[in-house]
Chain A
Amino acid sequence: MSDLEKEIVHRILIVDDNPNIHKDFQTILLEEHESAALDSLRDEVFGNTKTETQPKNVFELDFASQGKEGFEKVQQACSENRPYELAFVDMRMPPGWDGLKTIEHIWQADPKIQVVICTAYSDYSWGDITERLGKSDNLLILKKPFDSAEVAQFAAALTEKWNLARQAAIKMEQLEQMVKERTDELAEVNNQLKQEIAEREQAEIRMAELLKKVDNINTELTDFASIISHDLKAPLRGIKTLANWILEDCRDKFDDKANEQMNLLLGRVDRMYGLIDGVLQYSKVGRVEEGQVGVDLNKFIPEIIDMLTLPEHIEVTIEDELPVIQSQETHMMQLFQNLLGNAIKYMDKPQGHIRIGCIEEDGFWKFSVTDNGPGIEEKHFERIFKMFHVLSVKEDFEGTGVGLTVAKKIVELYGGKIWIESQVGQGSTFFFTLPKQEQEITNDKLEVNTAC
C-alpha cells in the first residue's frame, strides 16, 4: 500500500439538480476510468513519461443538488483548507440559483477554482456569460449531452491546470518572499549606512569642536606663557634691584666674602631671567604669526652682531655670500642671536674668532657658526639642544639657557636640522640647514626693492 502514499487526490464538485448526472460523473470519473487508465490519459494529454515514482492521480467527488448548496460546500472546503480544484456546474437548477449565479458565488468564495458550466440549452451566449462573470481563464462550457471521454479529459486537464497554477502561485510567493528578504536586507544595509553617515557626521562635529578647543588652549597657553613670564619676572626684578642697592650701599661694610656672595646671587638672578625669557621664546616659536618675508641675511646678520655688543677681543667674519631666507624675521633673529650669543659668551681665548659660513647642499642651505672657544665634549652633543639640560649638568659647564632649544625648534619648524661638531679646547661648529626655496626668483625683486 505504499502506492497510496503517492496518491494525489483531486477534489471535484458536481453541482446539478439531476441525481442521474451525479451518477454519470461518478461512473465516468471514478468507476469507468480506473486510476491507471486516468493516469495514462493524463500522460497522453500532457506527454509525461511514466516512471516508478510518478504519483497516482485520483479524483474525489462531492455533489450538490442546488447552487446554494454547492456554494456552501466550496466555502466549507476552503475553510477546511481542502479546496476543490474543479466544479462542474449545471446551468438550470430550479427552484434555486441558476448556474451563473452559483458560479458568481463560488468564485467569491474561491477565485482559483476551475469551473465547467454544463448546459443543454443555449440559455446564454458566451458573450452573455462573460458579461456576467467577467472574462475568466477558469471557465469552460460543456454542452450536454456530454461525452464521457470529454468529461474525463476536462477533469484531468483542469485539475492539472489548477495544480500548475497553484505551484506557480507558490513559486511566485517564494519569489516575492525572496524579493522581500532581499529588500529587507538592502533596507538594513541602507540603515547601517545611514547610521554610519550619521556617526561620521557626529565625529566631524566632535573633531571641529576639539579643534576649536585646541585652538582655545593654544591661545590660553600663549596668554599663560606671557602672564607667567611677567609674574615670575616681577619678583625677580625686585630681588635684583634690592641686591644691587644693598651691594652698592653696603660695599664698604661687607667683607670680601659677603661681596662675592652678593655677586653670586646677582649671577643666579640673571640666569633665572635668561631661563624665563628662553621658555617664553620657546613657547612662542611656531605660534606667533608675523608673516614671512624675504630676510636678506647679508644685511640682517651684521645688524644682529651690532646688537650683541661684541667685546673687543672677539671678531666675527662672514665668509660666504648669504642667501635671502623666506621666513619670520623674529625667527632668524633668535636663531643667529642664540648661536652667536653662545659663541661670544663662552669665548675663552684672548683672540676670539667667530666665522659664519653658508654653502648649498642637496637642496638645502647649510649654515655654520664656528668659534675657537672652549669646545664641548662629545657626550654633550645631543643634550645641549634639550630644554633645561643646563639644570642637570655640573656647575663647571655654565648653561646655555634654552637658547639652543629655541634654535633647534626654529630650524625644525622650517624643515631643517641642527647639530654640533666640536673638539674640546679647539672650538665648536654649529651646523644647521634650511631648505632652499625659490629664493633665486625673488632675490632680484628684493634687491630692486631694497635699492629703491
Chain B
Amino acid sequence: MINSKSILLVEDDEIDQMTVERALTDLSVKTQLVPTRNGSEALEYLQNRNNKRPCLILLDWNMPRMNGQEFLTIIKSDEQLKKIPVVIHSTSGAREDINKGFELGAAGYMVKSNDYEKSKNTIRAIGRYWTLCEQPPNGE
C-alpha cells in the first residue's frame, strides 16, 4: 500500500476520475486521492505549502487549460517537485506522445483502457509498483 500519503490525480474527464476512484475503492487502497481537473489546478495544489506532497502523480495527457506536457515540463524543472514520480495515464498510444512523456521525465506511461477491468488492473499495477518502490525523501 502507498502508506498514508496521497496520490495526485490530474484528470479533466469526470468519468476517468471516477474510474480511478472506483478502482482504488475496489482494490481497497486507502491512500487518499486528490483529484484536480487540469495542470494549472494541480500546480496550484502542489505550490500550496499547506498541502501534503503526494507520493505519486497520475497525469492525463490531453487536458484543457494546461495539458500534461506543459504540466510535466514545469514540474520537472522545479527542484522540489521533480522528485515526485509522474505516471502518465492517457488515451493516446501514439509513439510521439509516449516518447515525449519519457523525454520529459515521466516514470511511466499507461494507455487508458475502454474496459473497466483492464483499467482496474492498470491501477493495481501502479499501486503495487509504487508500494514496493523506494521513494526519495521529499525534503520535509
A residues lining the B interface (CB < 8 Å): 226, 230, 233-234, 236-238, 240-242, 244-245, 273
Q: Nearest A residue to B22 by beta-carbon distance?
A: A245
Contact of A230 among B91, B114, B119 (CB under 8 A): B91
Instruction: Kindly state the separation between the CA atoms of A238 and B112 in the bound complex, as whole angstroms.
Output: 12
15 additional contacts (CB under 8 A) given A230-B92, A237-B91, A273-B114: A226-B94, A230-B91, A233-B91, A234-B91, A237-B16, A237-B112, A238-B13, A238-B14, A238-B15, A238-B16, A241-B15, A241-B19, A241-B119, A245-B22, A245-B116
Is the C-beta of B62 less than 8 angstroms from some C-beta in chain A?
yes
- Evaluate contact between B62 and A237: CB separation under 8 angstroms: no
A233 CA to B94 CA, complexed, in Å: 15
How near does chain B come to A414, taking the closest CB pair, in angstroms?
23
Q: List 18 A-B contacts (CB under 8 A).
A: A226-B94, A230-B62, A230-B91, A230-B92, A233-B114, A234-B91, A236-B114, A237-B15, A237-B16, A237-B91, A237-B112, A237-B114, A238-B15, A241-B15, A241-B116, A244-B116, A245-B22, A245-B116
Residue numbers in B under 8 Å from A237 (CB-CB):
15-16, 91, 112, 114
**Chain B contacts to A: CB under 8 angstroms:** 13-16, 18-19, 22, 62, 91-92, 94, 112, 114-116, 119
Q: With the chains together, A31 CA to B94 CA distance in Å?
A: 119
Chain A contacts of B22 at CB under 8 A? Answer: 245
Contacts of A244 in B (CB 8 A): 116
Whether A240 lies near B13 (C-beta < 8 A) is: no
Chain B residues whose CB sits within 8 angstroms of the CB of A233 once the complex forms: 91, 114
Question: For the complex, what is the distance from the CA of A109 to the CA of B117, rounded to whole Å?
Answer: 118
Min CB gap A277→B, angstroms: 10
A238 vs chain B, min Cβ distance (A):
4
Q: Is the CB of B91 within 8 A of A242?
A: no
Smallest beta-carbon distance B80→chain A, Å: 33
Report chain B residues within 8 Å CB of A230: 62, 91-92
Q: Quick one: which of A230, A233, A273 has the most chain B CB within 10 A?
A: A230
Q: From known contacts A226-B94, A230-B91, A230-B92, infer whether A242 and B114 are also in contact, taking CB-CB under 8 Å.
A: no
Chain B's closest residue to A270 (CB) is B114
Inside 8 A of A241's CB, which chain B residues have their CB? 15, 18-19, 116, 119
Q: Which chain A residue lies CB-closest to B12?
A: A234
A242 with B92, Cβ < 8 A, contacts A237-B114, A273-B114 known:
no
Top-10 shortest CB links A-B: A238-B15, A244-B116, A241-B15, A237-B114, A241-B116, A240-B114, A241-B19, A230-B91, A273-B114, A242-B15
**What's the nearest-Cβ distance from chain A to residue B35, in Å?**
16
The CA-CA distance from A236 to B113 in the complex, in Å, is: 12
Q: Whole-angstrom distance between the alpha carbons of A167 and B139 in the complex?
A: 116
A98 to chain B, nearest CB (A): 107
A241 to B13 alpha-carbon distance, docked (Å): 12
A233–B14 CA distance with the chains assembled, in angstroms:
15
How far does the Cβ of B34 sit from chain A's closest Cβ, in whole Å?
21
In the bound complex, how far is the Cα of B115 from the Cα of A451, in angstroms? 39
Of chain B, the residue at the smallest CB distance from A238 is B15
How long is the Cα–Cα vector from A238 to B116 in the complex, in angstroms?
A: 10
